[in-house]
Every structure is written in structure tokens, then in C-alpha cells.
Amino acid sequence: MSSFDDLVAEAEAAPTEGWDFSWFEGRATEERPSWRYAHAMGERLRHASASLDLDTGGGEVLASAPVLPPLAVATEGWPPNVAKATALLHPRGAVVVASPADAPLPFADEAFDLVTSRHPVKANFAEIARVLRPGGTYFAQHVGPASVFEVVEYFLGAQPEETRNSRHPDLERAEAEAAGLEIIGLRAERLRMEFFDVGAVVHFLRKVVWMVPDFSVERYRPRLRELHEQIEAEGPFIAHSTRHLFDARKR
């Protein structure tokens, strides 16, 4: 069995660009939503004429679609991911635009008939509605409230209710409707996660940096060592992710 120091060192050395989670194979598991977002998104893209994928990461999800529309655009705000998405999507004919997640979308009004996103940083529904054509669709999988908060609260302690509920689907539904979107479907699921070693937790927090914003191995080494001992004594660390599926149409 690998030592604490070996597990942590391996996780610190692992690359974090993009949304490829293959490093976790055999080290962590996450139950997947029943709606199979990537497959469903691919079907929507097959029938679109102009699409926009927001916060595309390394472009892995968009690139999984069998067919892209004649005009396919993706945005990403983190420079290493912009480079990775460009290399992956340009051969498919898709354009990658570097755009911060909190900035207005750099596109004309009514430019797209489909806007997609898997795990947007923060859905700006007013901007999404602006760039959608009338009758156009926003189809996205969002991270839900208190997602993986077992990990967050292990390091940061109990979080206030407003933080736990900040991504609640009912709140996002109200924001979407206020922006002029009609909600066709909204589904939510809570999904089991298991971390089999402390290295998997380290890599997760290095990759999903907003979970514990001040995370570093040195800062949290004593707490990580306690977690390592807990996993060895009791088995996997259990957490739960939350996801909801948005299917909305511009009136």
C-alpha cells in the first residue's frame, strides 16, 4: 500500500488541465446522472445550425458529439484550457473563443439557435437569452447546491445555508424565467462519490479549485494526513455530488 507522502506527491504531479477525469480510474468513483448529458447534447447538436458551448473546459464534452453544426463555437476562460480546447476542437471545425466566465458574451444578439454547457461556472441567463434566437434552446447540466460539500466541510468546516443553497435549481429557474426563457424541463439528482485514497482528494481539489479556494497540500497537510488514516482504517471517503439538467427555450 502506498504511503501518505507517495500518494500526495503523485497527486501533486498530475496535470489538471481540461475536464479529463481518467486519472481517477481505480482511485475514485462518481455516479453519473441518469439523463446521459453528453449523449443528449450530441443529439441536440445534430439538429442545430449554430451552437455555442459555454465554459467548455478542455473541449472534451463538445468533442464527444458525433456531429457538430455548420457553425460551432465554444468559450473558455482559463488559458491552459483554451489551448487544450483549441487543439481538440479546431480539427472538428469549431471555433474556441477566450472569454472570462463573468464577462458579457462577445457575440451578436440572436446569433445561435442552441447554447449548451456542462457545469458552467455561473449561468448568465440574461446573456444566454440575448444570444439565442427566438425559439432557440439552452440545454445544460449544472452543478447543484452543496455539491461534494462533505469534502468542502471536511477542510473548511460547516458552511452557511446561503452558501449551501447558492446553486439551487429553483433559484436558477427564477433567474432563467426573468431573462425570458421558458423552462421546458428541469431535473435534479444527488449522486454518490467515493474517494479510495487521499491522493484522489488532493487531485480533485487541485482540479476543481473553487471547492476549497485556498487549498494547497502544505496548508492542509495535517488534515490530509488525518484523512489518509481515516480512509485506511474505515474505507473510502463518501461524498455526494448534485446535478440538475436545464432544458429551456427563448420565448
CATH number at residue 87: 3.40.50.150
Tens of pLDDT, residue by residue over 69-120, are 999 999 999 999 999 999 999 999 999 999 998 899 999 999 999 999 999 9
- Is this structure's pTM higher than 0.95? no
The number of beta carbons lying within 10 Å of the beta carbon of residue 147 is 23
Q: What is the dihedral of CA 93, 94, 96, 102, to 10 degrees?
A: 170
Provide the pLDDT for residue 2: 85
Instruction: Return the pLDDT at 19.
Output: 75
Query: Rounded to whole angstroms, how far apart are CA atoms 121 and 117?
Result: 10
pLDDT at 1: 65
- Supply the DSSP string of the chain, one letter for each residue: ---HHHHHHHHHHS---TT--GGGTTTEEEPPPTT-HHHHHHHHHHT-SEEEESS-TTSHHHHT-S---SEEEEEE-SHHHHHHHHHHHGGGT-EEEE--TTSPPSS-TT-EEEEEEES-SS--HHHHHHHEEEEEEEEEEEE-TTTTHHHHHHHH-PPPHHHHTTT-HHHHHHHHHHTTEEEEEEEEEEEEEEE-SHHHHHHHHHHSTTSSTT--HHHHHHHHHHHHHHHHHH-PEEEEEEEEEEEEEE-
For residue 34, what are the domain limits? 4-250
- pLDDT recorded at residue 79: 93
pLDDT in tens, the chain (251 residues): 689 999 999 999 999 887 778 899 999 999 999 999 999 999 999 999 999 999 999 999 999 999 999 999 999 999 999 999 999 999 999 999 999 988 999 999 999 999 999 999 999 999 999 999 999 999 999 999 999 999 999 999 999 999 999 999 999 999 999 999 999 999 999 999 999 999 999 999 999 999 999 999 999 999 999 999 999 999 999 999 999 999 999 99
Between CA 79 and CA 215, with CA 22 as vertex, the angle to 5 degrees is 55
- As for how many domains the chain has, the answer is 1
